Amino acid sequence: MKNNILYYLTILLCVYPFQKHFAATGWNNFILNFDKGTYGRGSQTWQIAPYDSKWIYFANKNGILQFDGNAWDVLPLNNRMDVRSVSVSADRKRIYAGGINEFGYFQPNEEGTLTYHCLSDSLETTKRLIGNVWGIHESENTLYVQGDECVLKCRDGENTLIGIDAKIDCSNIVNNVLYIGTDKGIWFLTGNSFFPLQGAERLAQKRIRSILPYKEGILVVTAYDGLYYCHDQLMENFTTGAEEFMKRNEVFCAAEHNGQLALGTIHKGILLIDTSTMQLKYFDEHNGLHNNTVLSVAFDINGNLWSGLDSGIDYIYLSSPFTNLYSYPYSYGAGYTAAVKDGILYLGTNRGLYYVPYPVKFGEEQPEIKAVPSSSGQVWGLNHIGNKLFCMHDRGIFLIEGTFMKRIPGIIGAWCCQPVSGHPDQLYVGAYNGIYLLVNKEGTWQISHKIEGYTSSSRIFEQETDRIIWVYQTDHVTRLELDDQHTKMLNQREYGVTEGFPTDRNMVVSRLKDSICFATPEGIYRYNADKDRMEPWVSMNHALNGETAYTRLLSGKNHLVCLKPYELCFSNLDIYKQGVGLSIFPIRKSLIELVPDFEAIIPVTDSLMIIPNENGFALFSLPHSNKHHEISQELCIKKMYLTSGKDSLIYTANYLRQKNYPVIDYDLNSVRFDYNLSSFEKNDIHFRYRLNEEPWSESTISRTKEYSNLPEGEYTFEVKAIFPDGRESYDSIKFKILPPWYRTLLAYCCYSLLSIFVLWSIYRWDEMRLKRKKLQAVKEKDKRMKEMEKEYEQEKERQEKQIMQLEKEKLEYDLQHKSQEMANLMINFLRKNEMLTEIKSEIMKVASKLTGEGASEGKKQLILINNKIDSNIQSDEVLKRIEDQFDLIHNNFMKRLHEKHPDLSNNERMMCAYLKMNLSTKEIAPLLNISVRGVETIRYRLRKKFHLEREESLNDYLTNKL
């Protein structure tokens, strides 16, 4: 709805308590259905026992049902038969359960898992067979167990079976007195005996369904005969105006809370009675109840009502400020708009336009909602203009007159309309293809013209002045400037992120305090005309709930109404301090699913407004209290598993909220945590977690976290839920990872003992080492002395060898010198013989030439001289002596040569001697009186005789191998 109708909205705090105001003005309460497939397929639910706002217990056909606000668990009894009754003991912190010939209680064990303790097994057989246990009550350390025809009283270990000659239908403890309802009236227990209730004789033969505390007495609920109030030995009819309803539909169960009396029937659901005003409310299959046969009812501490049905379990939101007009399958389509005019409530849906008399009257039957003729199709908006009501339709714009509507021709599809600022006889109409101008001529509205130059869809727009229009588009906002006659567009400018918006989408335009502002996903922004930019509206964000996501804004006088994806906010615009004068009402997504991009708030009165949604229409009634009405959403770590190998549960949340301290073996040091909210809500909630005060993780929607291979130590796992409005809920659990066996205390003691032993061993070893070192030093000294003696001997031997080597070298030198002298001697000897031979030859030549007298004398003298020369020429004997001398020097070389090679000639033997003396070929030739070539020839013959290969050396043979 647009701001031109917001004068209908003046948000004031209610002067009456919320429940009474709600009863007078509310519609159908929202009902949350739980199909039996959700909690184990158990059909009948016979009793309900809330432990607190979070934990609820149900006596079901399959066992005790436990609901923690998020998950269901089935807890069977030992005999696996139906559970008839359930009761909560706040003193003993127990959940009692009764079945068929069996009863006991559940309590959490060390891991938090509920464990069943059977009490009936310890009884005698005669006391155990009490039939169906329809009631279990605890008072002053005494436990009362109600069977079909008896009551078992258990106190201080003593069990007393108290019988009565009647069929017991119900029981209850009021002011520490046990009352039972039978087919013979009301009885009460005194000591170990039952006595009839005085003044209640008329109840005999009536089917009594429930006994409830009421004022100073008891309220008796019968199946067909209404209600009775008994006190001070008197009984009077408790008239509600619904006695005929009770008689027709058979009351089966009842519950009372703060003046609200709920009666569950067999045929027609639930009747809710306000005992202070006697106003009635009906809940059946037509307004959301899952089943009309109600077997049990119970109020929780929030004043909401649980109902156990023949098939399924329902939860009725009695304390919510939100109610609904109709529900599936009795639906008239998704709601888009609504308006009240002349005692008629008009409803615009995706199917068409509907109407119902206003105020809407609810009774045993649902109000009749009718369709406006010829209205089939999508209805986008209903706008009050003066005393006229306009319908914005997919087929154009219509004027509503009573239960009919008349089309204004000229527009193919219209979104919204509002009066032109300063011109009440003119209307701007936002259409599919631009903006049209309507004028009122003589009481008739008609199309004047279409704004020239602008053809975009105009679903939402606001006027800065009559010539400046702001149009909201999905991904931007457009500012239009028109001419003075409102006929054509002069200027157009688009605004997005580059112009100051925080995002590119969902910047819905509104007009507050004469300012153009915008509801964005990151708070309220407004237009700064001086800078021609968008900027955060700080004071308005403070007046609301901070810079969070907003979808729609409406203002009235000094109050502001703000719609968010999951909240409805009311704020006093005269106060700019955040949280002051601010009321926040969570919108349960499980009940109210707003139509995306078509969120709307339609004010009806100062304290009532309609919120269209995908399931129809919700009515909001402003409560009296000015506070943050939070949904009870407590974050809870539900379970903790060991994940090494097969998953093993070591902790589960329980109604006592007791957390054990898991101590985990090192071999099982991988864990997983499952966490969730104790609420039915599935809104856009994110989670963060951390371990041992590390930095918080990034936001995630995952409701589980696993850690693997954790080292030993103490840990604290923390998790927090972050709600869309910025609120947080927190939970944590501590646990310990034991060290591996080799890092335990016992292991460290062993290590200490081992260390002491090692140190002692090291000390002993060092002591022995010192002894060994001293002994080794003595040995080393002896060894050193021996080594020194050995070194001395070796040095002495080396010196002797050196002396011998020197002597050998000297001998070799002497030998070489003597060999050289011998060679020189032989050479000289040979040269002397040669010279004498030459002289002899010359003498013979001279002698031959002598003639004449005296020649003979001369010849004689020459011959004498020649003979002397011959005597001086050495013979072989001289050579023999030389050879012997050579053998003496060269270790019998010539002798060995002769022995090994006897076939050698003298020249060859002498050749070997010369080679042994290292004489060259040129030196050898004259000694043998042969040419150089002759020497080579002899060398060749020697190689042949010595059988030498080509690569073998003759000198090497003579020197080393002979």
Phi-psi region of 750 (alpha: psi -120 to 50; beta: other; left: phi over 0): alpha
Note whether 328 and 615 are within 8 A (CB). Answer: yes
Alpha-carbon span 619 to 592, nearest angstrom:
11
Are 3 and 510 in contact by the 8 Å Cβ rule? The answer is yes
**Taking 80 as the threshold, does the pLDDT of residue 11 lie above it?**
no
At 341 the three-state DSSP class reads: strand
Instruction: Report the half-sphere exposure of 236 (CA within 13 A, side-chain side).
Output: 8
From first CA to last CA, the distance across the chain in angstroms is 138
Q: Which residues of 189-216 are buried (b: 16+ CB within 10 A; e: fewer)?
A: beeeebeebeebeebeebbbbbbbebee
For the residues 743-753, what does the mean pLDDT come to? 89
Which CA distances in Å does 814 have to 597, 808, 811, 884?
Answer: 130, 9, 5, 17
What are the structure tokens assigned to 766, written together?
Answer: 């060092």
**Lowest-pLDDT choice from 7-21, 234-248, 321-335, 408-422:** 7-21
Domains of the chain: 3-9+329-621 (2.130.10.10), 31-163 (2.130.10.10), 640-743 (2.60.40.10), 768-872 (no CATH), 875-962 (1.10.10)
Say if residue 699 is exposed, middle or buried (CB neighbours under 10 Å; 0-12, 13-18, 19+). Answer: exposed
pLDDT of residue 769: 85
What are the tens digits of pLDDT across the range 346-375?
999 999 999 999 999 999 989 999 999 999
Picking from 427, 417, 405, 431, the residue whose alpha carbon sits closest to that of residue 352 is: 405
Q: 277 near 293, Cβ under 8 Å?
A: no
By the 8 A CB rule, do 194 and 171 touch? Answer: no
Strand 663-664 vs strand 728-737: parallel, antiparallel, or unpaired?
A: parallel
Q: pLDDT, tens digit, for every residue of 407-461?
A: 999 999 999 999 999 999 999 999 999 999 999 998 899 999 999 999 999 999 9
- Would you say how long the chain is, in residues? 962
Return all residues near 242 (Cβ < 8 A) that are at least 6 apart: 271, 273, 280
Nearest Cα to Cα of residue 659 among 736, 592, 584 = 736
Handedness of CA 594, 599, 601, 602 (dihedral sign): negative
Using DSSP, state whether 510 is helix, strand or coil.
strand
Structural element, H or E, at residue 125:
helix 125-128
pLDDT tens digit sequence for 571-605: 776 665 545 567 778 787 778 888 988 888 998 88
Give the model's pLDDT for residue 928. 75
pTM above 0.85, yes or no: no
Q: Which of 12, 86, 103, 87 is nearest to 45 (CA)?
A: 86
Lowest mean pLDDT among 793-807, 825-839, 856-870: 825-839
HSE-up of 674 (CA within 13 Å, CB side)? 16
pLDDT at 624 over 80: no
- Going edge to edge, which strands form the sheet with 217-222? 208-214, 217-222, 227-231, 234-238
Give the pLDDT of residue 878: 56
Residues 6+ positions from 648 with CB-CB distance below 8 Å: 641, 642, 668
Mean pLDDT over 196-212 rounds to 94
